[in-house]
Structure 1
Amino acid sequence: MTPTPIRGETHAALITAPGSGQGKSMVTAALARLHRNTGRRVRVFKHGPDYLDPMVLEVASGQPVYQLHPWMTGEAECRWRLAEAAQSADLILVEGSMGLFDGEPSSADLAILAGLPALPVIDARGMAQTFGAVALGLASYHPRMAVREVVANRIGSARHGDMLRESLPAGISLLGAIPRSEAMAIPDRHLGLVQAGELGDLDEKLDAAAAVLAEAGLDRLPARVSLEATAPAPPPRLLEGQRIAVARDAAFAFLYRANLDLLEAMGAETTFFSPLEDAEPPDCDALWLPGGYPELHANRLAANATMRAAIHHHHAAGKPILAECGGLMACTEALTDGEGAEHAMLGLLPGSVRMAGKLKALGLQSLRTDLGALRGHTYHHSELDTGETPLARTRRLAGTEAEPVFRRRGLVASYFHGYFPSAPELVAAIFRGEAWSPLG
């Protein structure tokens, strides 16, 4: 089959920063809402493995948000998703991760790959003429990285904004200077932003933030870019007729849209349920317990006896269960939360987990098997204590072993979050309960 070319032209920019904590997440969300409120169709993407920012960005833009990462999702997919969006969007925004040049591959690598200009958001508190030096450094660090405009964030006064504008070298202009404002803040917790569904006033806050940006002069569109790619071939229909029940509520919500899309493209029917609210999962062939915050809802999970019994019955029957990170935590015998209270969990995997009070693992990893290498990441603040021998271990980009992967009857459980499109045959085998073998 001849690959289908895709081409589009639209306004686009990568929203980035010199480092984390500069305010780029809220600026991206507010920009999306600002332009959406003017009637424009806005598409937003997120660089790297992130579940929480995309939840807010979807509310801000009113459109689905997908992850882009040259290693995890692949270069071809990055180009394809952007080119496809450019065919109908008036504006594409890509929220970067960390600082512009941080990580491997970095946000800059994505921008260079796709041909996007970078729009750095620089926290200007306690800064005057040095603002220009920071902007110049970002613009000149890589010869193929285009930085023509910057945004000053958290300025103290109009005069402060003028000083920052005057500090910029030739070739770099100030798109806008955002004053310090409560409207530009969203609460967070140990894994990142509070989930969008937990913020009852999120729409109002986004509209208020959009108004702040409009007043600061950020209602002007970035440059137009041309984007082109090749459409991917459809995946094999390896899950035809399979019904997969996916946990989705305040305790289990870390779901890549691309993962759900792939399951359906392979023929599966996906249905959602709440381990917190429902009495039992819907009738299904397989269960998926994704990551989330089971530690914040452990008491309710422990109290839902009918749900626990139903999942036990599913497991005893040998039916497949995929448990990722928070799902793994829920599958152990007990969970000790951040307050030191112990709660009974599902007991499908011997041992227990305890919140550690600090980050225990972070980074890109892959699970290498005879059915392909599943790429993804890990990010957790708890520790697992188990005597169970893992079937496999994920590997970091440097090649060293990382997270254990357990298989017990139909259960596959790990702290590892997988990006399903990177290994569709392996994903299908997991949800069908079929054999697969790790590779060294």
Structure 2
Amino acid sequence: MADCFPYPRIVIAGLSGGAGKTIVSLALARAFVKKGLDVRCFKKGPDYIDAGWLAFASKKPARNLDLFLMGDEVCRRSFVTYGTMEGINIIEGNKGLLDGVDAKGSFSTKTLAQTLEAPIILVASAHKVTATLGAIVKGVVDCSSNCSFGGVILNRVAGERHRKVVSESIKQRTGLDVIGAIPRIEKGAFMPERHLGLLPVDENASVNEVLSFLDEVATYIDMERAVEIGRSSPPLGYLPLPTEKKQKVCRIGVLKDSAFSFYYPENLEALEAQGAELVFFSPLPDTTLDGIDALYIGGGFPETHLEALSQNASFRNALKNLASLGLPIYAECGGLMFLSRSIDYKGKRHEMCNVLPVDIEMLEKPVGHGYATAVVDNENPFYPLGATIKGHEFHYSRPIAYEQEKIRTSLQMQKGAGAIGKRDGIVVNSVFATYIHVHALGEPHFAQALVRRACAFKARKTSYR
């Protein structure tokens, strides 16, 4: 039986997407940090951008908790491994509280709150509604059995009378107190959005304005009450994930900059745990990829950096040369795009690395969006035959020109769009490129295989000397 310890925690949930969960979570995190609390943030679901902002506000790495990708036991163990026992843990939900992959709400924020035994603070937009909002909140609460609700934070409140009527309606119908009432505050140009939500924090040039905005939002929330709600959480059993690291056995390059920023901390840590020394590169200023035994290219927004990527022929040629020599390369989404022959964006063609025999087209609407599962049915560098891969995809791009006889794919999509006709996992030599993002806590083959292949490539290099 695991020992139990306090983990003060709150789930910030919404009635829907766009209710204000992210802004409230960021404002809380920043305010708690300024008060001297140890703040740890988590994001429910597969999300790189909100997690990046949460890390920025809390000044600590933010982790994702996803029941579909990891399962409930791993989510709980991840939380106690990376959460704080002394300060406050903030778990930002996604979509509406009850929204999951089906009508039952499987893998929803509500289910995660139940898994973590965490009290919920519900964020509700009060735009153009008064007493009806109390009925809506009551319906959500009544449909959330085995959940604890700590209070409600209103967003887009028109004035004092509006706040009072809505607050009384919620209190009368649910017994819940409104612990915050945020007026209609314009975010302005300093928090622009892109198709995945907020602009990533490392691309935002107006972070000082963002911080001032969050400070203003925090003045409308009862911070002491939020901490009290968090501290009302029951103790959790301490059964942490293993965090030991093996002795360094290889060097794996990682492309990480504003063009390629979609990396789960656990994926990088899993590589280190298997014995990899991580070496970071940027294909924007760098010209070489020296001294590595494998390469990991995550997702991001290469389409917003196409001019710079295309103009850096030295880096692209260096990558192509290493790929031809058999360097193991694992590429996800934006990484797949970068390895293509070219990317067509807004009518202009941009040359890429020419490692994969495909050209890529950017579209205005998503091609793939949501959870994905695929079965491995062909040989590839990293995944065993017959394995089922769970991940997620969100891409506005697709291959448009490719030589069918030269394309070898290794994944049959069961759920999701994939790359080409419900196929994914493009393989060229020791290169594996996919639109599926995996999380290392749910897919251990990823790190194990990449380090194993890196060691094999390193051994071949040594034998040639």
- Same fold, judged at TM 0.5 (above): yes
Deviation of the 1:420 alpha carbon: 2.0
**1:109 — aligned with what?**
111
Equivalent residue in structure 2 for 1:120, among 114, 119, 122 = 122
User: Could you tell me the TM-score, scaled by structure 2's length?
Assistant: 0.86
Deviation of the 1:431 alpha carbon: 4.7
Equivalent-residue separation in structure 1 for 2:222 and 2:46 (angstroms): 31
**Structure 1 unmatched ranges of 5 or more:** 435-440
Are residues 1:404 and 2:427 paired? no
Equivalent residue in structure 2 for 1:19, among 13, 16, 19 = 16
**2:453 — aligned with what?**
433
**2:396 — aligned with what?**
381
Equivalent-residue separation in structure 1 for 2:221 and 2:138 (angstroms): 22
Equivalent-residue separation in structure 2 for 1:379 and 1:86 (angstroms): 28
Deviation of the 1:236 alpha carbon: 8.9
Relative distance call for 1:129 and 1:253 in structure 2 (3 A) is: same
Equivalent-residue separation in structure 2 for 1:6 and 1:313 (angstroms): 53
Q: Counterpart of 1:418 in 2: which secondary structure?
A: coil
Equivalent residue in structure 1 for 2:69, among 69, 72, 76 = 72
Relative distance call for 1:419 and 1:146 in structure 2 (3 A) is: same
**2:217 — aligned with what?**
212
Are residues 1:274 and 2:282 paired? yes
Relative distance call for 1:16 and 1:34 in structure 2 (3 A) is: same
Q: Counterpart of 2:50 in 1: which secondary structure?
A: helix
Deviation of the 1:403 alpha carbon: 5.0
> Which digits, 9 at most, give the CA deviation of each residue in 1:328-386, with x for residues without a partner?
0111111011x211101111111211111101111212344537544211111111123
Asked if the contact 1:121/1:151 (under 8 Å) is kept, the reply is yes
Are residues 1:423 and 2:443 paired? yes
Equivalent residue in structure 2 for 1:186, among 165, 184, 191 = 191
Q: Counterpart of 1:433 in 2: which secondary structure?
A: helix
Deviation of the 1:408 alpha carbon: 0.7
> Which digits, 9 at most, give the CA deviation of each residue in 1:4-36, with x for residues without a partner?
946331431111111111111111111110111
Deviation of the 1:77 alpha carbon: 2.1
**1:231 — aligned with what?**
240
> Which digits, 9 at most, give the CA deviation of each residue in 1:403-433, with x for residues without a partner?
5111110100011111123232343224543
Equivalent-residue separation in structure 2 for 1:143 and 1:8 (angstroms): 25
Q: Counterpart of 2:427 in 1: which secondary structure?
A: strand
Equivalent-residue separation in structure 2 for 1:284 and 1:327 (angstroms): 17
**1:32 — aligned with what?**
29
Equivalent-residue separation in structure 2 for 1:319 and 1:354 (angstroms): 26
Asked if the contact 1:288/1:323 (under 8 Å) is kept, the reply is yes
**2:353 — aligned with what?**
346
User: Could you tell me the TM-score, scaled by structure 1's length?
Assistant: 0.91
Asked if the contact 2:410/2:423 (under 8 Å) is kept, the reply is no
> Which digits, 9 at most, give the CA deviation of each residue in 1:301-324, with x for residues without a partner?
111011011101110110101110
Are residues 1:395 and 2:414 paired? yes
Equivalent-residue separation in structure 1 for 2:372 and 2:58 (angstroms): 30
Equivalent-residue separation in structure 2 for 1:430 and 1:327 (angstroms): 15
Relative distance call for 1:89 and 1:198 in structure 2 (3 A) is: farther
* Identity between Structure 1 and Structure 2 (%): 32
Are residues 1:93 and 2:90 paired? yes
Asked if the contact 1:176/1:217 (under 8 Å) is kept, the reply is yes
Residue 95 of structure 1 aligns with an amino acid whose one-letter code is: E
Residue 128 of structure 2 aligns with an amino acid whose one-letter code is: G
Equivalent residue in structure 2 for 1:363, among 359, 370, 391 = 370
Asked if the contact 2:24/2:217 (under 8 Å) is kept, the reply is no
Q: Counterpart of 2:289 in 1: which secondary structure?
A: coil
- CA RMSD in angstroms, aligned pairs only: 2.4
Relative distance call for 1:352 and 1:86 in structure 2 (3 A) is: closer
